[in-house]
Amino acid sequence: MNAPERLPLTGIRAVIIDLDGTMVDTAPDFHVAINRMRAEFDLVPLPIETVIEFVGKGSENLMRRVLGVDYAATDVEAQFDRAMAAYQRHYLAINGQYSSVYAGVVEGLDAMRTQGLRLACVTNKPISFARPLLEKTGLAPYFELVYGGDSLPKKKPDPLPMLTVCRDFSLLPAQVIAIGDSSNDAEAARAAGCRVLTVPYGYNHGQPVQAIDSDGIVDSLLIAAHLIAA
């Protein structure tokens, strides 16, 4: 099987940026909310390293993985609705309190905006969690568009969110680049026909980012902005 063709990073007019693990280190928020939920079920707390491995494919998958530590598959489904409701209640109560914006994010967004690039945030996080987090961290004003995992019929790694941004911006996929920390972002971008860059400091379901099929690994959004400008 031939390796996929690498398109040059030229002609970029818009950037789609992931949220958790790319712009904001939200693992501490997940950790607190999940363990508060688990306390209601009389389950032992999970270490943050385990929680990080479960992050990235949406809240439903996260909750099933968390419950799967202690329950068989049939019992996971039996407990799912109650656990999800408890998790969402706890998460909304602390959303952003334990999180922090990664180094280079604000500087990178400023540079992209100065370059005239249009910006969209596409995350698998529910939109009711994503918008308040962007507001709390001061990142919301940078983005023309924000799509959460429940904003559209399909979420990443499906290409629909990326294609929807391209349509909304009236741009071809080749004019749009996605930046994320996981295989979800890269697979969605590749399937949509967008370029993609990966940051190495996020979650990626506990897997090494070097295994992701992307157009390059960048240490920060500021470096990504410089690469796009070049």
pLDDT tens for each residue of 107-162? 999 999 999 999 999 999 999 999 999 999 999 999 999 999 999 999 999 999 99
Please identify every residue annotated as catalytic: 18
CA 204 from centroid of its chain's CA atoms: 9
pLDDT at 8: 61
Looking up tokens 């962007």 gives 134
Domain span at residue 143 reads 14-25+100-229
Co-location of 128 and 38 in the same domain: no
pLDDT at 9: 82
What's this model's pTM, rounded to 2 decimal places?
A: 0.90
Q: What is the mean pLDDT of residues 198-227?
A: 91
Question: Could you tell me which residues come within 8 angstroms of residue 54 by beta carbon, excluding any fewer than 6 positions away?
Answer: 61, 62, 65, 66, 205
Indicate whether 3 belongs to any domain.
Answer: no
Co-location of 116 and 223 in the same domain: yes
Indicate whether 7 belongs to any domain.
Answer: no
59 falls in which pLDDT band (50, 70, 90)? confident
Report d(CA 21, CA 133) in Å as an integer.
13
Report d(CA 196, CA 204) in Å as an integer.
15
Indicate whether 43 belongs to any domain.
Answer: yes
